[in-house]
Chain A
Amino acid sequence: MSLPEGAVVTHPGYEIVARQDFSDTTYLLEFQHPMMARAAKAGQFVIVMANEAGERIPLTIADFDRARGTITLVIQAVGKTTREMQQECRVGSRLHAVVGPMGIPTHIGTSKKVVCVGGGLGVAPIYPQARAHKQNGAYVIGILGFRNKALMFWEDKFRACCDELIICTDDGSAGIKGLVTAGISQSLEKHADIDEVVAIGPPVMMKGCAAATRERGVKTMVSLNPVMVDGTGMCGGCRVKVGDKVLFACVDGPDFDGHQVDFDDLMHRLKRYVPSEKQALERWQESCRIRGDAAMTQV
């Protein structure tokens, strides 16, 4: 017996109201979601599904504007989904699905002096944390790591909420030459009274930051972004080893004590779907090439 098609309940989508390209690979999307803008707190993330056939990918909230009713994401085009979004997402277009804010918000406690470290894709998400600590009355030292000067963004936003800002670049084209860990060492030497270090970036960077503070025993929080599907604690794909526990980054985090996190485990688990990701990217690039060729022929 054949059954009639029923209604699939979906949302009309979330409108993109601003886009900014920081470099060839890094872009900002700001979308309308007044309720989420009211609820969002530093340290939380969203899950985005760019189109109907898309993956659900977790992205840390880079900013929220309660007055405008918007959420800002800063995205690095690395895989198929993020490259496709770079190509397709325009002001006025819509994201198929966005759910959030997810995860336990960052605990903005009583720390008087805080170092906020952001590297690469972690620069944007460290911003709400720096701002929250500043609003909480802390002395905030920002440390931002980029490969080179051309990739820098949001320096002005950080200057507005940081008492000190240290820029680190791999080639020395801006700020100090070296990794963010060099910035951390510099700060730790200059200030004996740092209560907390918050680090967001690639796992290897966060691992380095945790190592840099371990000896002095300075509290170091990191924000983890493993592979997720639902983001609500249901699939367990995002499980991470923290101390002697296995926790789910989506509902038990995403912030964890950096001195307890098993980063090697995290880095291995992030490679789970590499073969599929590669296959998807190659297929997509091929389809872009064909479409590109077709467009050329039409011209």
Chain B
Amino acid sequence: MAKKKTIRTIPQERTPMREEPAEERRRNFSEVACGYTLEQAQREAERCLLCPDQPCVRGCPVSIDIPNFIAKITEKNYHGAYDVITDTNLLAAVCGRVCPQETQCEGVCTVGDSLEPVAIGRLERFIGDLAIAEGWTNIPYIEPNGLRIAIVGSGPAGMACAADMAKAGCDVTVYEAFHEAGGVLKYGIPEFRLPNTVVDAEIGKLIKLGIKFECNTLVGRLFTIEQMIAEMGYDAVFVGVGAGYPSFMGIPGESLNGVLSANELLTRCNLMHASDFPKHDTPVQLGRRIAVIGAGNTAMDAMRISMRLGAEQVHCIYRRTKAEAPARAEEIHHAEQEGIEFHWLTSPVELLDDGNRGVRGMRCIRMELGEPDDSGRRRPVSVKGSEFEFECETVVYAIGTNANPILGQTSKLKLNKRGYIDVDDNLATSIMGVFAGGDIVTGAATVIEAMGAGRKAARSMKRYLGLRDTDVVYRPERIGSDSTLFGIDLGERNHARLHEVRI
């Protein structure tokens, strides 16, 4: 047992992660954050105090045993660290990259009270990447239980639910409307933040686990949720289709050519490879000056991808201040480094026609913060007489999404007032055997929250189907690679060993 660490004995500075220089990366699509080396991970892991209070675990939506996995890193037991993470989190390589750690685990880290918090996200990514690169762990033996499960949507919620149900011995099929699986991880989050190879590596493991993916399938229209239960023989269905339906503001000029949603921009680029036009057929025609409305993660992605597509200027228009911006701090920081210009306390009032149904600019108004609103954030109010014009040729809306209407149109699923699927505390919907989670229940949220919902739904589904909630009957045999799933070690052996240690 190492001697007890104190705040004075640990490395004081947070270990920096190498990033591609902003000047180069702003014009290419390679991943910005390069990840920790072994030595860097070691050093950063030393910064964890292993405090008994463990606020980080409570700060994590899926309650990863964070001090435990960090301790394994300090012991150089990387596989062990991987086992700990994958006890609760399926997508270590993904979440380490895209979780908003500063408002979750790192936001409540004890070290953070006096120094920079432990870089938990970077350590998680380090382990996730190592697991993929090394192809660790065991070929699972899953006792089939004969139950058939359908998952609607192959994004993070669906993948998490599918993995847990497959581990429980169910025959799982995932339906996806696009021609490739992965959901928002594929069409939404850009390559420079989450490489598609990482997503595909994780999906590959799901396939190895026996999960079937059916792409090009629009559930609701090709067949209905009710048909899945009544005719197609599924014992339970999980709906994790995401929110979809992008919002616009309803100001004049929104139908001008040159105005598009961030979803459209990102889908054209990430899924349809518009940056490779005309080698790939899908174009994305951006102007020289691009204004993105909104300051969430999607807005940051849209701005940074615009820069990479060759824009001369990229502007962020947000009606509140940087402090209220919903994006991860790191994303805003990266965007600033890459030369994106932020216009805080600014709101568009009209998009201006260039005379040819294109955009020549936008008229904006200055805002100031007034009294707090329902969300607790100070409400932005417009400053009278502060309107000004601003030149740009492309306007991208990244101000959130509404509920996708397709399942409401095609099933008897009970929806709430805002059109999202109504569920009880167990994520059960109004239709027996049908569960739902992720953005289509909560409205737009994060990857890890969607995964958390997928796993919660899986627990409910197992109870509904009368399955033991203790996961699977395994007969693990260690034969090389490809037996982890988003990092879940599919052998019980490691888990059992951990439990012994804990006892």
Q: By the criterion CB–CB under 8 Å, are A1 and B35 in contact?
A: yes
- Would you list which residues of chain A between 29 and 48 have a CB under 8 Å from chain B? 35-36, 39, 44
Residues of A within 8 A of B179 (CB): 10-11, 49, 56, 96-97, 99
Q: By the criterion CB–CB under 8 Å, are B177 and A269 in contact?
A: no
Partner of A4, one of B176, B201, B207, B263: B201
- Would you list which residues of chain B between 32 and 52 have a CB under 8 Å from chain A? 35
Number of A-B contacts (CB under 8 A): 175
C-alpha spacing A68/B198, complex, angstroms: 41
Residues of B within 8 A of A273 (CB): 283, 285
Residue of A nearest to B35 (CB): A1
Q: How far is the CB of A48 from chain B (nearest CB, A)?
A: 10
Residue of A nearest to B154 (CB): A9
Q: Mark A229-272, 1 if CB is under 8 A from B, else 0.
A: 11111111101010000101001100000000000010011011
Query: In this assembly, does A2 line the interface, its C-beta being within 8 Å of a C-beta of chain B?
Result: yes
Q: Mark B172-204, 1 if CB is under 8 A from A, else 0.
A: 000011111100000100000001011111111
Interface size on A, residues (CB 8 A): 58
> Quick one: given A98-B216, A268-B357, are A252 and B405 in contact (CB under 8 Å)?
yes
Partner of B406, one of A8, A232, A271, A276: A232
Query: In this assembly, does A161 line the interface, its C-beta being within 8 Å of a C-beta of chain B?
Result: no
Q: Mark A88-115, 1 if CB is under 8 A from B, else 0.
A: 0000000011111111100000000000
Q: By the criterion CB–CB under 8 Å, are B404 and A99 in contact?
A: no
Q: By the criterion CB–CB under 8 Å, are A54 and B281 in contact?
A: yes
Residues of A within 8 A of B217 (CB): 99
Q: By the criterion CB–CB under 8 Å, are B404 and A6 in contact?
A: no
Stretch binding the partner chain, chosen from A164-172, A177-185, A212-220, A277-285: A277-285
- Would you list which residues of chain A between 51 and 85 have a CB under 8 Å from chain B? 53-56, 80-81
Residues of A within 8 A of B133 (CB): 1-4
Q: By the criterion CB–CB under 8 Å, are A8 and B180 in contact?
A: yes
- Would you list which residues of chain B between 273 and 301 have a CB under 8 Å from chain A? 273, 277-283, 285
Q: How far is the CB of A207 from chain B (nearest CB, A)?
A: 16
Partner of B278, one of A269, A271, A283: A283
Query: In this assembly, does B261 line the interface, its C-beta being within 8 Å of a C-beta of chain A?
Result: yes
Q: How far is the CB of B288 from chain A (nearest CB, A)?
A: 14
Residues of A within 8 A of B223 (CB): 35, 39
Q: How far is the CB of B346 from chain A (nearest CB, A)?
A: 23
Q: How far is the CB of A265 from chain B (nearest CB, A)?
A: 5
Residues of B within 8 A of A2 (CB): 133
C-alpha spacing A203/B197, complex, angstroms: 42
Q: By the criterion CB–CB under 8 Å, are A280 and B283 in contact?
A: yes
Partner of A232, one of B207, B261, B404: B404
Q: How far is the CB of B143 from chain A (nearest CB, A)?
A: 25
C-alpha spacing A251/B245, complex, angstroms: 9
Q: Mark B399-435, 1 if CB is under 8 A from A, else 0.
A: 0000011100100000000000000000000000000
Q: By the criterion CB–CB under 8 Å, are B281 and A53 in contact?
A: yes
> Quick one: given A6-B200, A9-B215, are A232 and B285 in contact (CB under 8 Å)?
no
Q: By the criterion CB–CB under 8 Å, are A280 and B221 in contact?
A: no
Partner of A7, one of B207, B281, B357: B207
- Would you list which residues of chain B between 233 and 267 have a CB under 8 Å from chain A? 242, 244-246, 248, 250, 254-255, 257, 260-261, 263-264, 267
Q: By the criterion CB–CB under 8 Å, are A11 and B244 in contact?
A: no
Q: How far is the CB of B409 from chain A (nearest CB, A)?
A: 7
> Quick one: given A9-B181, A10-B180, are A237 and B260 in contact (CB under 8 Å)?
yes
> Quick one: given A100-B218, A268-B257, are A229 and B404 in contact (CB under 8 Å)?
no
C-alpha spacing A234/B207, complex, angstroms: 26
Partner of B248, one of A97, A246, A252: A246
Residues of A within 8 A of B120 (CB): none
Partner of A246, one of B198, B254, B282: B254
Residue of B nearest to A81 (CB): B281
Query: In this assembly, does A5 line the interface, its C-beta being within 8 Å of a C-beta of chain B?
Result: yes
- Would you list which residues of chain A between 123 and 163 have a CB under 8 Å from chain B? none
- Would you list which residues of chain B between 144 and 165 have a CB under 8 Å from chain A? 154
Residues of B within 8 A of A39 (CB): 221-223
Q: How far is the CB of B293 from chain A (nearest CB, A)?
A: 13
Residues of A within 8 A of B166 (CB): none
Residue of A nearest to B126 (CB): A1
Residues of A within 8 A of B248 (CB): 236, 239, 246
Q: By the criterion CB–CB under 8 Å, are A265 and B268 in contact?
A: no
Query: In this assembly, does B272 line the interface, its C-beta being within 8 Å of a C-beta of chain A?
Result: yes
Q: By the criterion CB–CB under 8 Å, are B267 and A235 in contact?
A: yes
Q: Mark A7-18, 1 if CB is under 8 A from B, else 0.
A: 111110000000
Q: By the criterion CB–CB under 8 Å, are B278 and A279 in contact?
A: yes
Q: Mark B464-498, 1 if CB is under 8 A from A, else 0.
A: 00000000000000000000000000000000000
C-alpha spacing A11/B70, complex, angstroms: 41
Binding site for A on B (CB under 8 A): 35, 129-130, 132-133, 135, 154, 176-181, 187, 195, 197-204, 207, 213-218, 221-223, 242, 244-246, 248, 250, 254-255, 257, 260-261, 263-264, 267-268, 272-273, 277-283, 285, 357, 397, 404-406, 409
The 5 closest A-B pairs by CB, nearest first: A6-B200, A276-B283, A6-B201, A97-B179, A235-B264
* Given A35-B223, A98-B216, A275-B285, 8 further pairs, Cβ under 8 A: A6-B199, A6-B203, A10-B180, A55-B272, A97-B215, A102-B221, A251-B245, A252-B405
- 6 residue pairs from A and B, CB less than 8 Å apart: A1-B133, A2-B133, A6-B200, A56-B272, A251-B409, A269-B255
